[in-house]
Amino acid sequence: MLSFRGFARCSALLGLVLFAGSAAASDNKIALIPGGPHPYFKPWEQAAADAKKDFGIAAVDFKVPSDWKLNLQTELIESLVAQGYKGFGIFPGDAVGINSTLSELKGNGIPSIALAGCAQDPTDAAFCLGTDVYHSAYLGTKELIKAMGGKGNVVHLAGLLVDPNTTLRVKAVETAVAETNGAVKLLQTVADTDAQEAADQKINALLAAQKDEIGGMIATGYIPSVVASKSLRTLGDKRIKFIGIDDDPIVLDAIKDGFVSGTMAQNPYGQGYVGAYVLDLLASGTCTVKADAPWIKTPQTARFIDSGTLVINTANLTSYKDDLKKITADIQSKFKTTYLTCK
């Protein structure tokens, strides 16, 4: 929990300005903070550097808690507030638990937005910018079913249960399978695979015991996508169809060599880049969020913006990054007029 009384005392001693918006944009310090260490968030670091340069922001920094524990995330935020940071892009370490921290930030004039995963309403995050994870998992499952010829048994390799996106992805896979009216069966959902040791153990044990029963697999987490791609290559049997998520080089090479049917691209770079741009505007006091903007309503929040997704397969293996750049540029260029009221 943030100790803002302690922060106020420290700020007075350091001469820090407490209220965001009282300084020019070039004076703002913005932080992008994931829930913990994870390769998905690595592009946020480059996004932070590019946003600082492109938009003339004093500092945009990528700060990572040492572990996936909410208290470590909130302690990091508290430390950064004491150092004068005036805007926070946060992947919630806990979709509900993070809200008390967001409320205290708002109460001290410091804007926050949820990035890559949403805080649960009611929340004081200005909005949520991330992958429409339900839509992405649904499209990925439909792509898998198509690769399987419309029939067979599917296994879903799901992410961490503490990730607020996991439940949505599980529901999406179940929905896509149900639409086949029994032609495709969800054989098993294997959760908590988005950590290296667990993914290695669970996926390889699954394939050793049941590979002959499995017609297709979909992974909705970064690490199981990589592990499954390696495992299918090791088996050397291209019968099992597989759709992953994200664009790790191991997954992309497996697509090129025919061991993986495709992977669902997300846009973490765009989340960090656009997020930093908007936080600077909000922290400078030049813009406020429109209540009547064309938000997407999700089970978690009434203020969601899709950062974009697409299927990577052999057809666009060399061009998908350009497509994601176009998506990011389009979101950023239209953001002020679509979602903000600016002076």
pLDDT in tens, 259-309: 999 999 999 999 999 999 999 999 999 999 999 999 999 888 999 999 999
Could you tell me which residues come within 8 angstroms of residue 333 by beta carbon, excluding any fewer than 6 positions away?
Answer: none
Name the CATH superfamily for 133-265.
Response regulator (3.40.50.2300)
- Asked if 60 contacts 51 with a C-beta cutoff of 8 angstroms, the reply is yes
User: Strand 112-115 vs strand 128-130: parallel, antiparallel, or unpaired?
Assistant: parallel
pTM here is 0.83
Distance CA 117, CA 129 (A): 8
CB 246 within 8 A of CB 225: yes
End-to-end CA separation in angstroms for the chain:
34
Average pLDDT over residues 104-118: 97
Rounded (to 5) percent helix, strand, coil in the chain: 45, 15, 40
CATH number of 4-131+268-308: 3.40.50.2300
The predicted-structure confidence for 10-29, as pLDDT tens digits, reads as follows 443 333 333 333 334 469 99
Domain borders along the chain are 4-131+268-308, 133-265
Residue-averaged pLDDT of the chain: 92
Check if 4-131+268-308 and 133-265 are the same fold.
yes
Q: Which two structure tokens, joined as six digits, stand for 58?
A: 């004093």
Residue for token pair 């649960």: 120
